[in-house]
């Protein structure tokens, strides 16, 4: 039986109806048969939603960089200095706050020095993922031409308005290389030999990179460390790194799923040198992929995975159930961290999340780890983003794995073909939460019941998150029920509604997805709401993600 943890260790090698304002103020409405209620509590703020929880991840893996992001300056495909223009145009719409690069597992095999300097002199190297590539894969997926390196990545981030988040190699490069990468990126114009090299490539001004990952999955592909061994490495890598006037935020490689031992062991070892050590850690990276659709039959990484396109209603609920455990992982690791850091100066950074299916649904056959996102993945993504929205004090950053041509991608591209996936549309809808004040919101909704391999199982009926931006309230809600629309009474305690609008992402077919040929099968639909008063009634369509935007009087 192989679990994902072992796998990565081994890799070293329809719109709702609306009524309004005619019921008694929530929560006093008592209609017979009306079972679903949402109550938003503006006087119970949870914290500001960090825009960075809407972050992205671009690993140098198969078609993510070469073909997805980078097409080259001389390509016929419209580009901005080699970067795919359509991707830049689409990303600008979703306000991406931060992008992580170059891995993933790739990061701990990468020498950043290979990816700088004159492009014709950059060495070709074997990509970490080369062995998983098919015989017909393009050469640059197996052998990294290093055409896309630090300069190009930082320019990409600038184009889309995001901050770069660089993940450093702890497994196979010494700490000095890490300091030098920071020096290359951040030392002032003309100050160091590396600043001169940067200038020679056309970038005299520092990149001012703020976020630095110290390794990736250091329990597996990032070095097979014990948490104690890794903590020693972390201290060494993160000590006395010059910031050049830029505050450096170091992100430690954290646990996957429920690996409490990793979190506990890491912090215990860090603290053997005293509490001050906590100051060097901005966040601990938690990874969680939803992959096991076996209904509890196996924990085998290969056998347990499901199909991205061919699935039934039970697979749908099982995927959501797997993804929903993100909330208990956030709460659990937060509790463990609180045992040693009661003031919680260190936050969680969920820098890899998403569903992971078996291969076979690639838009571009042969692209490793690429899968076809459907409406199910949109609902999954809305659900996950709402989990982050509900824990603003705990989650400082999150990065969906991965931006393009990979697992839970927002975009698919191949040569001159491009499309936005249903996941991409969810990010566009949810951008409205960024920087808002999260509000405690109570969902009282009957559970969904289904048959899980002969045993009764249940899943929640509706969930979501609310945030306030001045007098503008944003409520996002996921209805996971594949058949049942939920007529719901929504109340905002102590406030009344002046106007509103609704955006819905759904489809009559739960397998619906967008392709290069049919780009708009699943797209969000918006309309104005004729709404005023203390309470609004809204029917959430089955299998849907909804955003309600409401101006408070
Ligand atoms: O996102 C794909 C891979 O999943 C990453 O490289 C690794 O960190 C994780 O195991």
| Sequential pLDDT tens for the chain (553 residues) | 456 666 655 554 433 434 333 333 333 333 344 589 999 999 999 999 999 999 999 999 999 999 999 999 999 999 999 999 999 999 999 999 999 999 999 999 999 999 999 999 999 999 999 999 999 999 999 999 999 999 999 999 999 999 999 999 999 999 999 999 999 999 999 999 999 999 999 999 999 999 999 999 999 999 999 999 999 999 999 999 999 999 999 999 999 999 999 999 999 999 999 999 999 999 999 999 999 999 999 999 999 999 999 999 999 999 999 999 999 999 999 999 999 999 999 999 999 999 999 999 999 999 999 999 999 999 999 999 999 999 999 999 999 999 999 999 999 999 999 999 999 999 999 999 999 999 999 999 999 999 998 999 999 999 999 999 999 999 999 999 999 999 999 999 999 999 999 999 999 999 999 999 999 999 999 999 988 788 999 999 999 999 999 999 8
Contact 122, 114 (CB under 8 A): yes
CA 383/CA 227 separation, integer angstroms = 30
Ranges assigned E (strand) in 446-533 = 448-452, 455-459, 463-469, 472-479, 486-492, 497-505, 525-529
| Residue 108 Cβ < 6 Å to ligand 1 | no
What is the secondary structure of 205-228 as a DSSP string? S-----EEEE-SSTTTTTT---HH
> What's the CA gap between 167 and 482, in Å, rounded?
39
Distance CA 201, CA 181 (A): 15
| Shortest-distance Cα residue to atom 4 of ligand 1 | 104
Q: Which of 20, 98, 174, 119 has the alpha carbon at shortest distance from 499?
A: 20
- What's residue 532's pLDDT? 77
Integer angstrom CA distances of residue 397 from 51, 96, 163, 231, 477: 8, 12, 12, 21, 21
Q: Which of 380, 289, 283 is CA-nearest to residue 341?
A: 283
Ligand 1 nearest-atom number relative to CA 4: 10
Q: Any idea which residue has 């406030």 for tokens? A: 495
Work out which ligand 1 atom sits closest to the CA atom of 128: 6
Q: Ligand 1 pocket, 167 CB below 6 A?
A: no
Nearest to 51 by CA among 397, 358, 371, 441: 397
Distances (CA, A) of 525 to 14, 430, 502, 528, 545: 8, 14, 8, 11, 11
Per-residue confidence (pLDDT) for residue 34, from 0 to 100: 59
Residue 53 DSSP SS3: helix
Contact 307, 374 (CB under 8 A): no
β partners of residue 473: 468, 550
Find the 311 Cα to ligand 1 centroid distance in Å.
Answer: 24
Cβ–ligand 1 contact at 40 (below 6 Å): no
CA distances (Å), origin 225, targets 171, 254, 311, 347: 9, 12, 37, 22
Output the pLDDT for position 531.
Answer: 82
Ligand 1: centre distance to CA 429 (Å): 26
Q: Which of 8, 214, 224, 409 to mutate to test the pocket of ligand 1 (most atoms within 8 A of CB)?
A: 8
DSSP letter assigned to residue 275: G
CA 219 to chain CA centroid, nearest Å: 21
Distance CA 433, CA 411 (A): 21
- Give the pLDDT confidence score for residue 28 in this predicted structure: 33
β-sheet bridge partners, residue 419: 412
Residue 325: the pLDDT is 98
Phi, psi dihedrals of residue 366, rounded to the nearest 5°:
100, -20
The rounded Å distance from CA 202 to ligand 1 centre is 32
Q: Which of 5, 104, 286 best tests ligand 1's pocket when mutated (most atoms within 8 Å of CB)?
A: 104
CB of 410 closer than 6 angstroms to any ligand 1 atom? no
Q: Which distant-in-sequence residues (6+ apart) come within 8 Å of 337 by Cβ?
A: 263, 267, 284, 344, 346, 348
Q: Whose CA is nearest to atom 8 of ligand 1?
A: 104
Query: DSSP label at 100?
Result: E
Which helix (H) or strand (E) segment is 252 a member of?
strand 249-256
Q: What is the CA radius of gyration of the chain?
A: 23
Which of 334, 353, 220 has its CA nearest to residue 288?
A: 353
As a whole number of angstroms, the distance between CA 433 and CA 111 comes to: 37
- Within 10 angstroms of residue 65's Cβ, the number of other Cβ atoms is 27
Q: Which atom of ligand 1 is nearest to the CA of 103?
A: 6
Atom of ligand 1 nearest to the CA of 7: 10
The ligand 1 atom at the shortest distance from the C-alpha of residue 407 is: 1
Mutate to test the pocket of ligand 1, among 57, 100, 105 (most ligand atoms within 8 A of CB): 105
Is the four-CA dihedral 291, 440, 375, 411 of positive or negative sign?
Answer: negative
The CB of 401 under 6 Å from ligand 1? The reply is yes
For position 132, what pLDDT does the model report? 96
Ligand 1 atom closest to Cα of residue 216:
8
pTM: 0.95
Q: How high is the pLDDT of residue 5?
A: 65
Q: CA-CA distance, 256 to 350, in Å (whole number)?
A: 10
Residue with tokens 């020095």: 113
Distance 212 CA to ligand 1 centre (A): 17
């Amino acid at each position: 039986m192989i679990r994902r943890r072992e796998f990565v260790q081994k890799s070293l090698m329809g719109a709702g109806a609306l009524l309004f304002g005619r019921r008694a103020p929530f929560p006093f409405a008592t209609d017979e048969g009306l079972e679903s209620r949402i109550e938003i509590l503006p006087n119970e703020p949870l914290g500001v939603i960090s825009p960075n929880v809407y972050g992205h991840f671009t690993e140098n893996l198969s078609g993510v960089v070469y073909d997805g992001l980078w097409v080259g300056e001389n390509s016929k495909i419209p580009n901005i200095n080699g970067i795919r223009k359509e991707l830049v145009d689409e990303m600008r719409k979703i306000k991406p706050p931060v992008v992580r690069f170059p891995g993933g597992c790739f990061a701990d095999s990468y020498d950043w020095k290979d990816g700088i300097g004159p492009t014709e002199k950059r060495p070709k190297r074997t990509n970490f993922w080369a062995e998983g590539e098919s015989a017909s894969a393009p050469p640059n997926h197996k052998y990294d031409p290093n055409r896309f390196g630090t300069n190009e990545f930082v320019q990409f981030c600038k184009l889309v308005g995001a901050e770069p988040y660089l993940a450093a190699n702890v497994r196979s490069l010494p700490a000095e290389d890490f300091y030098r990468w920071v020096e290359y990126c951040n030392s002032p114009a003309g100050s160091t030999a590396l600043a001169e090299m940067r200038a020679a490539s056309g970038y005299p001004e520092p990149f001012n990179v703020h976020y630095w990952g110290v390794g990736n999955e250091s329990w597996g592909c990032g070095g097979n460390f014990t948490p104690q061994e890794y903590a020693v490495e972390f201290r060494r890598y993160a000590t006395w790194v010059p910031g050049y006037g830029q505050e450096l935020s170091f992100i430690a490689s954290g646990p996957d799923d429920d690996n409490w031992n990793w979190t506990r062991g890491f912090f215990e070892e860090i603290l053997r040198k005293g509490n001050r050590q906590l100051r060097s850690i901005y966040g601990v990276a938690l990874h969680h992929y939803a992959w096991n659709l076996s209904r509890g039959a196996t924990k085998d990484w290969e056998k347990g995975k499901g199909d991205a396109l061919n699935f039934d209603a039970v697979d749908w609920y099982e995927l959501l159930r797997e993804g929903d455990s993100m909330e208990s992982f956030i709460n659990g690791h937060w509790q463990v961290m609180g045992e040693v850091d009661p003031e919680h100066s260190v936050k969680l950074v969920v820098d890899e999340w998403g569903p992971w299916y078996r291969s076979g649904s690639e838009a571009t056959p042969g692209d490793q780890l690429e899968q076809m996102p459907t409406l199910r993945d949109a609902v999954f993504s809305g659900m996950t983003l709402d989990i982050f929205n509900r824990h603003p004090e705990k989650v400082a950053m999150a990065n969906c794995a991965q931006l393009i041509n990979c697992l839970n991608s927002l975009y698919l591209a191949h040569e001159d073909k491009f499309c936005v996936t249903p996941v991409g549309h969810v990010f566009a809808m949810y951008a409205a939460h960024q920087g808002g004040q999260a509000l405690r919101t109570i969902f009282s909704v009957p559970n969904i019941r289904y048959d899980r391999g002969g045993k009764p199982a249940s899943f929640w009926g509706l969930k979501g998150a609310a945030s306030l931006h001045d007098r503008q309230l944003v409520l996002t809600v996921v209805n996971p029920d594949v058949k049942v629309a939920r007529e719901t009474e929504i109340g905002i305690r102590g406030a009344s509604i002046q106007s509103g609008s609704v955006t819905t992402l759904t489809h009559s077919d739960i397998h619906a997805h967008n392709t290069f040929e049919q780009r708009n099968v699943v797209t969000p639909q918006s309309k104005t709401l004729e709404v005023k008063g203390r309470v609004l009634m809204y029917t959430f369509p089955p299998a849907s993600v909804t955003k309600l935007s409401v101006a408070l009087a």
